[in-house]
A = this chain, B = another copy of it.
């Protein structure tokens, strides 16, 4: 399990055994059962997550309806905005599958970053990459119709469509479950001829 984390890090920086030890001593690894709520609306938190195995999702509760806005799967990192802004969370995070995560706090990160400047650099690069990636995702969302977004998701993250309930996928695509059902039927009709 640790290897997955170290492999990921090695894409950005190379670690000495000492540094690996320092990381391991933080005791970051957690196994989390499906359905566990990691963060609730209104809570304060300073925890960041990195998914080693499984899937977690973020969702808002608006008019008694869940609005799912993101899924994080293997190799995805999430620092909730409320951790950055130090304000109560606007959304929930819950576990869709039995998962293995690393959970770190901002304190732990600050300490590691000041001890090993390499980490600071990795965090900077990682944030820049995530920002760029998210900019592109956002752009794609803005410039596409729901149907195009679904087809796109089918290309870019086919696993999600298998492992995630459709009503959660629907709000992720910005539409209602019924519309996703209909849209899928429409696509299926087209592909028949």
Residues of A near any B CB (own CB < 8 A): 58, 60, 62, 67, 69-70, 79-81, 83-85, 90-91, 113, 117, 120-121, 123-124, 127-139, 141-143, 171-172, 174
Question: How would you classify the secondary structure of chain A's contact residues: helix, strand, loop or mixed?
Answer: helix
Q: Is the pair B139, A141 in contact by a Cβ cutoff of 8 Å?
A: no
Q: Is the pair B138, A138 in contact by a Cβ cutoff of 8 Å?
A: yes
Minimal beta-carbon separation of A117 from chain B (angstroms): 6
Of all chain B residues, the one with the shortest Cβ separation from A135 is: B81
Minimal beta-carbon separation of A173 from chain B (angstroms): 8
Q: Is the pair A91, B139 in contact by a Cβ cutoff of 8 Å?
A: yes
Q: Is the pair A135, B134 in contact by a Cβ cutoff of 8 Å?
A: yes
Given known A-B contacts A134-B135, A134-B138, A69 and B143 have beta carbons under 8 A apart: yes
Of all chain B residues, the one with the shortest Cβ separation from A130 is: B131
Minimal beta-carbon separation of A93 from chain B (angstroms): 12
Q: Is the pair A79, B124 in contact by a Cβ cutoff of 8 Å?
A: no
Instruction: Tell me, in angstroms, the Cα distance from A70 to B85 when the chains sit together.
Output: 22
Q: Is the pair B84, A143 in contact by a Cβ cutoff of 8 Å?
A: no
Given A69-B139, A117-B117, A134-B138, 17 more A-B residue pairs with CB atoms under 8 Å apart are A58-B139, A69-B138, A69-B142, A70-B135, A81-B136, A84-B128, A84-B129, A85-B132, A113-B121, A113-B124, A117-B120, A124-B124, A127-B128, A138-B141, A141-B142, A141-B174, A143-B171
Query: Which residues of B sit under 8 angstroms from A137, Cβ to Cβ?
Result: 138
Instruction: Tell me, in angstroms, the Cα distance from A141 to B108 when the chains sit together.
Output: 33
Query: Which residues of B sit under 8 angstroms from A69, Cβ to Cβ?
Result: 138-139, 142-143
Q: Is the pair A128, B79 in contact by a Cβ cutoff of 8 Å?
A: yes
